[in-house]
Amino acid sequence: METKLIQMDNIKAQKEALYAAGELIRAGEVVAFPTETVYGLGANGLDADACAKIYQAKGRPSDNPLILHVANRSMIDQIVAKVPDKAEKLMAAFCPGPLTLILPRKSIVPDRITGGLATVGVRMPENDVARALITASGVPIAAPSANISGRPSPTTAKSVLVDMKGKIPLILDGGACDFGVESTIVDAAGDKAVILRPGAITKEMLEEVLGEGNVVIDPALVGADSIPRAPGMKYTHYAPKAPLIMLEGMPTRMIRAFQREIERLQKEGHRVGVIASHEVLKGLQDLVPKDLMADYGHQGQLSAIAANIYEALRSFDDKDADILLGEGTTAEGLGLAIMNRLHKASGFQTIQV
Ligand code: TXA
Ligand code: MG
């Protein structure tokens, strides 16, 4: 199959492209599109056969449910049985935006996309192209991140093409994604709001709306032993092709710690790649060739680091590094989402510095 890529820099001028994309979705095909978090791989969320094509293109385990993307409130009421009070509050505060709410579903939502769960994940994206695509399709769009299962999520159309070339008919290119990590998933179906996946809507932001004590983090996100309630969080994820080891601790000790590890690994004959801040990379110039360094932004600037992290991991795909070292950030605020992804990408291999 030929995969078309259409630049969407001027949404008004691109009416035809949006119409064609909407037609494809209604015809049961898969279209990749930008959101403010990461690129999504979209299909008609009310059509189980169309969604089966998503699982196939990604190589995704069939028990891992898809979330549904909506453009407005009436689409939510079409798929959700009941919107609890706290979900109303969260929607008023954060939708459209990088938040997915787990809510009781209606039977119109096919079993195959919820993995048989009684709930459905609902997200109202803010990105213009995403919203225009949902509107042009006229249906809720099921969309996981547009990567091959287990790989870092794509935050550029080019990265979508790397993973999806020949597998889907169309990619809408809306440029680089703003946030760069997937939406915060909050289970709002029960008593307390439970964060199943951290994202740009932080625990602190949720508490501001719901009150302290009313927001908890799924224990499985902190300990490595219990089973996460978001089925997808149990799989290997975000992994670069070479193994990744994280260095975590005091920013002031980072350069020295990296130098030590790099020297040790190079002595063993390894080609070491480094994913780190501008500041740390500057201290490693004599040890690591430039093409084996990926700069994720300035130390402590978490929004920029989140926006760059997946492309930084992917930048080693066609390099010959056989081991990667990554610099950890704080786990506060947006740092919780960044470190959640990096811990998964590294299979929890960490050196404390
Ligand atoms: O930012 C995002 O959320 C992106 C963009 C494209 O919108 N989408 C995304 O989808 O990250 P995906 O499929 O890669 O991640 C969705 C996660 C999976 O871990 C899945 O297991 C979980 O949401 N999930 C889906 N439905 C669920 C449900 N009913 N209960 C609990 N977890 C659910
Ligand atoms: Mg994903």
What is d(CA 195, CA 246) in angstroms, rounded to the nearest whole number?
24
pLDDT in tens, 320-352: 999 999 999 999 999 999 999 999 999 999 999
Is residue 76 pLDDT above 70, yes or no?
yes
pLDDT at 225: 60
Is any atom of ligand 1 closer than 6 Å to the C-beta of 185?
A: yes
| Tens-place pLDDT, residues 91-111 | 999 999 999 999 999 999 999
Task: With cut-offs at 50, 70 and 90, classify the pLDDT of residue 208.
Answer: very high
Residue 131 has pLDDT above 70, yes or no: yes
Q: What pLDDT, on the 0 to 100 scale, is given for residue 14?
A: 86
Tokens of 228: 């996460």
- Is 70 exceeded by the pLDDT of residue 177? yes
C-alpha distances (whole Å) from 281 to each of 55, 266, 267, 306 are 38, 17, 20, 18
Distance 13 CA to ligand 2 centre (A): 31
- Compute the distance from residue 133 Cα to the ligand 2 centre, in Å: 20
- 154 touches ligand 1 (CB under 6 Å): no
- Residue corresponding to tokens 């080019």: 158
Per the prediction, the chain carries an average pLDDT of 95
What per-residue confidence (pLDDT) applies to 346? 95
CA of 229, closest atom in ligand 1: 31
Confidence (pLDDT) at 10:
81
Q: Is 232 in the pocket of ligand 1 (CB under 6 A)?
A: yes
Answer yes or no: is pLDDT of 224 > 90. no
Q: What is the pLDDT of residues 288-330, one digit of tens each?
A: 999 999 999 999 999 999 999 999 999 999 999 999 999 999 9
Mean pLDDT over 266-271 rounds to 98
| Domains contained in the chain, CATH given | 4-222 (3.90.870.10), 244-352 (3.40.50.11030)
Whether 247 has a pLDDT exceeding 90, the answer reads yes
Grade residue 238 by pLDDT with cuts at 50, 70 and 90: confident
| Lowest-pLDDT choice from 97-106, 236-245, 253-262, 275-284 | 236-245
Residue 241 CA, ligand 1 centroid: distance in Å: 23
Ligand showing the shortest atom-to-Cα distance for residue 151? 2
DSSP 162-227: HHHTTT-SEEEE--S-SS-SPPEEEE-SSSSEEEEE--SS-HHHHHHHH-TTSEEE-GGGTSSSSP
Confirm or reject: Cβ of 65 under 6 Å from ligand 1. Answer: yes
pLDDT at position 234: 67
**Residue nearest ligand 1's atom 3 by CA:** 183
Mean pLDDT, rounded, for 148-156: 97
